Amino acid sequence: MQQLQTKVAIIGAGSAGLSAWHAARKHTDDVVLIEEGPYGTTCARVGCMPSKLLIAAANTAHSARNAAMFGVAVNEVAVDGQAVMARVKRERDRFVDNVLSSMKSIPESHRLQGHARFIDPHTLAIGDHTQLTANAIIIATGSRPTWPRLLEGAGNRLIINDDVFDWETLPGSVAVVGPGVIGMELGQALSRLGVRTRTFGVGGAVGPFQSDKLRQLADETFNRELYLDPDATIEQVEQQGDGVAITFYERESRQKTTELFDYVLAATGRKPNVDQLGIEKAGVALDARGVPRFNRFTTQCLAQDNTPSHIFIAGDANQSVPLLHEAITEGKIAGRNAACLDDVQMGQRNVALAVVFTEPQMAIVGESRAALEARYGGCDCIAEGGVSFDDQGRARVMGENHGYLALYAEHGSGRFLGAEMLGPRAEHIAHLLAWALEQTLTVSQMLTMPFYHPVVEEGVRSGLRDLQASLKQGAGIAERCMECGPGD
């Protein structure tokens, strides 16, 4: 076994790991990047990009079927499953190739292939061929799908989102378990492409929403075109030949029924890939999930005595905000700080921004009202306003007039605090609102911004006016809410 030393070792060559590599190299040439699996990042290979390719095909088919609304006759909509999947894989491979091309900027002498595990806080074993000692170590190992034991009854008909993008053609039917981001995006896309789908959840959640109003509205809206039961009772999952039988209670009738599907797609959550690193030998403090405790502004892990460690964690491995742009940000912070251990600095973290690419789209900017109330200690300092898109001008023109935008602000100061949205063009509206939140604008300041006509963004103005009307003003109100204040 060869013995190597380095200043910075990065475990994982995904989005966070690559970002960390480039940041660290600005301060030192002594950096080693370790990867166990194929290069290419989760986003490019099995995540963001291939899923959006599938969604684009699905939305095209859906638009064609609904063209009669605009007086456009489409005689037949035929979905060629092989052609759909061929384009998905062809374009997916282009995105992966772009990532692989960027890997060429990293010299082979600075790359190690194999599974990494801790021998002690400063030493890693890489496969059975290398022992690497590092001054600083960055954990950027990503995460993997998990599912309840009940679904294992599906045998080899149980799949995850990764498997979808290996299909040669579309199946006849899929049961989706988990109406979160992945489940809702893929479930709706498959349904629009002609795949018989049913989507099951537990507890009533739909997408990322915490608002009861938006959860209910999303439930009602999506059920107009597909079967969604966010609080389902599944009694049995059993493989039968080349399919899987699911016994469940129908949403409306509550009658027990058994239905056969080609596959069961598990979209029930993800687990950080830290449990196979020998993390117990890293000398870091772990939370109840076995994930290292860390400072989100430095990405620096805490040692077991609660002092700052030489180990950093970035991206999906820490399960803080499992989104691509957050992984890249955390990688930059971790790479810089690991290369400059004597001068660890706080990195800039942006406001929370999440988008789900269903139709209507779902988005959250900042925190939900429930989270805000918890941060303000439960006092009545949060104002809420909103707007329905059912009669919004541009939304009606496009035939996409469904949804609601909930907006939150602080009484007294009028400071904008966040939003939850189900509706058309939410991906763009969410960015505008995130920029306003990042700039700590007040509702009054936001209302001074230009709004063109006719655009969906005019709905934002209507919502802001409603929010403004609900704000309580006055020095006493402001002083009280400042005393309560949002927590850390």
Element (H, E) at 190: helix 181-192
| HSE toward the beta carbon, residue 349, CA cutoff 13 A | 17
Domain parsing of the chain, residue ranges:
2-37+114-145+271-343, 149-268, 353-484
Q: Widest CA span of the chain, in angstroms?
A: 72
| Separation CA 468–CA 447 (nearest Å) | 9
- Are 2-37+114-145+271-343 and 149-268 in the same CATH fold? yes
Phi, psi of 167, deg, nearest 5: -65, 140
Q: Which helix (H) or strand (E) holds 462?
A: helix 458-470
What does the DSSP assignment read for 42-56? HHHHHSHHHHHHHHH
Query: pTM of the predicted model, to two decimals?
Result: 0.91
Instruction: In whole angstroms, give the CA distance from residue 35 to residue 14.
Output: 9
The domain made up of 149-268 is a member of CATH 3.40.50.410:
no
- Say how far apart CA 403 and CA 110 lie, in whole Å: 50
pLDDT of 488: 47
DSSP string, 60-109: HHHHHHTGGGGT---------HHHHHHHHHHHHHHHHHHHHHHHTTS-GG
- At 301 the pLDDT is 97
C-alpha–C-alpha distance, residues 168 and 187, integer Å:
18
Q: Quick one: which of 265, 53, 52, 46 has its CA closest to 143?
A: 46
Q: Residue 475 CB: number of other CB atoms within 10 A?
A: 8
Pairing relationship of beta strands 143-145 and 270-272 according to DSSP bridges: antiparallel
Ranges under pLDDT 50 in the chain: 487-488
Give the Cα separation of 40 and 97 in Å (integer). Answer: 8
The CATH fold assigned to 353-484 is Enolase-like; domain 1 (3.30.390)
- Could you tell me how many residues make up the chain? 488
CATH superfamily of 2-37+114-145+271-343: FAD/NAD(P)-binding domain (3.50.50.60)
Q: What pLDDT is attached to residue 52?
A: 92
pLDDT in tens, 428-456: 999 999 999 999 999 999 999 999 999 99
Whole-angstrom distance, CA of residue 339 vs CA of residue 341: 6
CA distances to 211, 267, 395, 425 from 223, rounded to whole Å, are 18, 18, 20, 20
Q: Per-residue pLDDT tens for 288-333?
A: 989 999 999 999 999 999 999 999 999 999 988 877 888 999 999 9
**Residue whose token pair is 């979160």:** 180
